[in-house]
Every structure is written in structure tokens, then in C-alpha cells.
Chains A and B, each alone.
Chain A
Amino acid sequence: MNNQRFRKLLDSILVPLLAILSGLVVMGILILILKKPLFESYAVLFSKGFGCEAYGNCIFITTLERATPIILTGLSAVVAFRSGMFSIGQEGQYLLGAAAAAWLGYAIHLPPILHPLVLIIAGMLVGAGYGWIPGILKVKLGVNELLATIMLNSIAALIIEYLVQFPMRGDRSTTAHSPVIDESAQLMSFLPGSKWGVGFVIAVIAVIVIFIYLWHTKHGYEQRMAGQSRKFALYGGIHSDNAAIRAMLISGALAGLAGAIEVMGVHRRIMTGFSVGLGFDGLTSAILGQTHPIGVFIVAILFSGLKLGAQLGLQLNLEIPRELGGTIIGFIILFVAAGKLYEESIVRVRDWFTRRRGSNLKGESR
């Protein structure tokens, strides 16, 4: 029984693992084309992305800080995908959640602890509301949620641009941004000079909550069943429609939470170009993390480590353009998508192994 469970786990991580390895091979090829030292590049990438030189001078902490919004948008994608909603609306929900938090951060004045709480709830509510729109459109009218969320993403981006340039504009500087939020609303960080703090803890709690919700509660079970087969779920007495709307509300709330935390813990305001494709980063980490909360957690840290390692290590030490990090992530997703390529060879290797073990057994019995 235990063995079987282990094999199932192995099966689900084998393809992502091979994809990551293939991505690193592609990276090696690109580095060789640039005529840069190959092994030094890998060493620098990993030591800068995931390393720790001394206590208090830990780049890995920055990696964790950058991973925080990706974890949350990734979880948002997981909840949506698992209930059969192919929503890519995390970007829009993230932006609007951030805007809500940024506005309440300077517009109202509350004591510490209460203020962040209000901002987080506001961000989650706004995100959930924006997630509800494609959900209700899908359930009531049959509007394709993928296409609807694409439109909602660009609408949200334009709304943010407008808000930042006009009603929420802090001062007349060249780049438009909102006023800084109150000190009472900012999230605490664990180390001076770093922005890694309470936000990351919230993200970890969210991972655990979503894991328990999806796999150990009735509602979560309903949602997963609705995602796997609508007809089967209906036969079992599950209202897929309710499950889908609930999923979109939770998904939106998580993305909105990501935005709120990014405002409260990192930028402390919202400005033009606030999102650098974080919604899509969440989406890709959900895909590579096998749409599992713990997978997303690991992959989000891996991605932000790769990007940071490319930025601080490859670019500064070896003069390799830092875009290599993002390129590798793209290739990893490509290799995951082409998982069939690996599956064929995995089956072949496994056949070969069992045949060998079989012949060994025969040898022993003789």
C-alpha cells in the first residue's frame, strides 16, 4: 500500500523533474553559444538564487520574498483548474486586489493590526468579486471562461492605469504612483533591510488551508469531482455550478490577497506597471506544480530563485543577460506541456527495468 502511494507520487513528480532538467540543459546550450564558462554559470545561478552567505546576508530570503505573490496566484490557479474552470484571470484579480489595498492603505487611518487586516480582507473581497464575474457568466450563460478572463485582465490593467494616473495619483512626478500607505498598514518584515515577512507566512498558511480544503473537506471534494467530470459529479448529487462559482470566488480571493500583500509588504503603494506578469507566473507554477498546492509552493520558490540567480549571478558576475532565467522557465513549461514525450520514454525505461528484474529473479530461483 505504502509502496503504491510512493509510486504514485513518483509518477506525478517525474515529468516536472525531467522538464526542469531539460530546461537546465537548454540553459547550458545557450551559455555554450555565448562562450561562457558552463559549470561556473550553474554554480553562480544556484548559489545566488538559493544560497546563503551569512546570517542576515541571505539571498534566499529575497527569493522567498519574491515567491510570495507567485505562490498565492499559483494557488488561485490551482483552485480554478481543479474545479474545471480554465481561468487565467489571476492577473486582473491580483491588480484589483492590490488597488483596493493601496487605496484603503492611505485613505483610512486605523490602529496597527486592525489596519492590515482590513486591507487584506478588502483585497480578497475585490479579487473574489472580480473572479465571480467570469464564474457567473460561465454558469448562467455559458460564456467561455478562458476568453472572458483574457478580456477581464486587460480591462483591469486599463482601470489600474487610470486609477494610478488620475484619482489615486500621489504627486506630479514623472512616473504615476499612489501615495505611500500608512505605516500602520504595512506588513512587518522579519529582517531589517529585507521585505520578507508576514506576507510569506500568510502564503504558507494559504497553501495549507487550500490543501486541506481541496482534499479533506466535503466542499473541496465536490469541487474536484466537478472538475474531473461534470456528469459524474451531477450523478453523485453534486451541483457543479455551485462548485464552479465557489471555486472562482476562492480563486479570485487568493489572487486579490496576493495583490494586497504585494502592496502592504513590498511596494507600499501602487504604480504604473505594477504587475510584471505575476498572474502568469502563478499560472505557470500551477501547471508545473501539477495543480497541487504543495507543488505550487515548491515551483514558485524555484522560479523566483532562477530569476533572481539569473539577475544577481549570471548578469552581474558573468555578464550573461538576466533574461536567461525567464527563458529557462518558459522552456520548462514547454517541456511539461510536452510531457507525452517523456511518458513514452519512461514507460520504455520501466519496461526495461522490470524485464531485467524479472530475469534476475529467474537467475536467483535457479
Chain B
Amino acid sequence: MEGFFSVFTVELLNSGIRLATPILLAALGGAICNQAGVLNLALESKMLLGAFVGILAAYYLGNSYGGLLVAMAAGGLLGLLFAFLYHKYRVDLVILAIAFNLIIVELTVFVMRAMFGNVGSWSDPSIVRIPDIQVPLIKDIPFLGPILSGYNIIVYFSWLVTIVMFIVLYKMRGGRHLRAVGENKSAAETVGINAILLQTLALVISGALAALGGAFLSIGHLKLFTRNMSNGRGWIAIAAAMFGVNHPVGVFLASLFFGFADAFSVRVQNVTDLPPNLVKLLPNVATLLVLIIIALRSKIALSMARRRFRSQLRAEEAANPAD
């Protein structure tokens, strides 16, 4: 038992937060798309694109922060392409996502091998990893300090995005309009909301965020690019968005859950002989349960509304027997 509890350390929390960051960024992107009624299953490819473009741009610009910006721009552009094909040519978003998930995983390796020879992964000594920042006052807080401080700028940015997205979606007009579009597109259009613009915006933002999450992997966490580097994190992000019921705060907590499960499974392997994969199973099963609960909730709500309607009808009939 002693060994088991020695797993819980500050390092575990730190690595959990680091592992949660790319998932959180992509999941926030997925959530905003879900809120706008455009299912974005291409988070995986957008992350991978961000990872690849990010490290390339960092290399050619000689500046890793520049790499982050270029990665976000690339992801945003891919999102824009999705929106264009969806709105202009009515291309099915799911099939589009499947196509791009395939294209990006192969094309990134193709370009890497075409540029740098027959290699499995690529890095260059001149590339600088995004440095960690010790936040001045916070780092001195006992206990919380080491947990909240000492990450690179992408981690803090992901927290900022969570807060901003919450404010925009729930406290501002544009966000309410966006959610209205997701709720019922034609109804929203009837009252003069520009649904196409808002859905396009959601896809672009989601592309940029997912790409930043990918760049975190290639120049924020490690310092290299390998084939299929995102390794299913885009799909985990979709799960995290569902688990957090597309609410920024919920998505934040869900992503932390996935990140900690990841960190914990690595730790558990070293300290105890619990199988690590089963720990990772936990958030996935939980997400499936959340899906079931959401479905159940709407089913119950529907049947309750029906019952209410019927009893109302009966009451009215009783009131005017002449009809």
C-alpha cells in the first residue's frame, strides 16, 4: 500500500497537467464546434498538422514562438477549408474528417521524408523547446505553487482560452448566437443570425486550437516530429469534449481527467504492477457512460414533456366539454 500511495506526487500532477494540455486545447476546439452544430472529427489531423508545421516553422524562422503562430494559422486555414467545402459544396463533414485524418498522417511523413531523407522522425539541434516559465508570485505559494507554476506559455494559454471561451459562449451575445445555431440552425437564421459565419468561425478557431495542441507536442513537450505524433489524442479530445458536455469548464476538467489517467498509468507501471492500460481505460469508459446519461436525460425530458402536454390537453378538454 505504501508503494501505491507514493505514486501521488507533485511530479505526477505536473506531468498530468502537461499531458492534459494538448487534449484540452483540441477538446475546447471540438466543444465550440459541437456548440455550433458542426461535428468536427478532424481534430486528430489538425493536431498532427500543427505538430508538423509548428516544428518546421520554428526551424525556418529560428523562433519557436513564431512556430506556434504559424501552426495555429495552418490549423485555422484547414478549418476554413472545411467550412468552405461544407457550406459551398455540402460535403459531409464526417467523410471530410475521415479523408483529412488519412491525408495529413501520410502527407506529413511524405513531406518530412522528401525534405530530410528517409527518416522516421526529425529534429534539428537549432530548434529551441518553448521554455517553462516560473510565474513570479504564484510559484512561492506553498503546496499550490509547484503545481500551478513552471509550465510553458501554451499551458497557461490553454487555461486562458478556457476562461475566455466560457465568457464568450455564456455571457456574450455572439456566443449565445453561436449556441443558438447549434441548437436549431434554421430557427437561428430566421431571427437574422448569420449561421454560416458563426459555424465557419467555430471551425477556424477549433482548427487553430487543435493545431496549437499539436505544436505543444512537437516544440512544447518534446523537440521532434515523428510519424503520427498525435497518436489518437485528437480522438481523446473528442471524447473529452463529450465528457465535459461541451461546456468549457467541463471540458477543462474532463481533459485533466484524461491527462492524469495518462500520467498515472505511466507512474503506476514504475511503482506497482497494476496494468497501465486499464488505468487509461477509466476515462474512456466514463465518457461512454456520459454519452448514455446524456441520451437518457433527453429521452426522459421528452417523455415528460409529452406527459405534460397530454395532461394539459385533458385539462382543457375537461374545461370546455362543448368542443
Contacts and interface: CB of A to CB of B under 8 A. Distances in A.
Contacts of B85: 337-338
Contacts of B90: 340
Given A284-B102, A337-B95, A338-B89, A142 B295 contact: yes
Contacts of B107: 323, 327, 330
A130 B236 CA distance: 20
Q: Classify the interface of chain B: helix, strand, loop or mixed.
A: helix
B284 A155 contact: yes
A137 B96 CA distance: 26
Interface in A122-174: 137, 141-144, 146-148, 150-155, 157-159, 161-162, 165-166
A137 B299 CA distance: 12
Q: How large is the interface on B (under 10, 10 to 19, 20 to 34, 35 or more residues)?
A: 35 or more
Contacts, number: 126
A34 B114 contact: yes
B109 interface: yes
Interface string B287-299: 1100110011011
Contacts of B291: 137, 143-144, 147-148, 151
A338 B110 contact: no
Given A155-B288, A161-B277, A327-B107, A143 B295 contact: yes
Contacts of B118: 319, 321
Interface string A106-118: 0000000000000
A121 to B, nearest CB: 27
B267 interface: no
Interface string B101-128: 1111111011001100010000000000
Contacts of A330: 99-100, 102-104, 106-107
Given A141-B296, A151-B291, A154-B284, A287 B105 contact: no
Contact of A334 (B96, B114, B238): B96
Nearest to A326: B106
A162 B102 contact: no
A271 interface: no
B91 A338 contact: yes
Given A150-B238, A340-B91, 19 more contacts: A137-B292, A142-B295, A143-B292, A144-B295, A146-B39, A148-B291, A154-B236, A155-B284, A157-B232, A161-B277, A162-B278, A287-B98, A321-B113, A324-B106, A324-B110, A330-B99, A334-B100, A334-B103, A338-B89
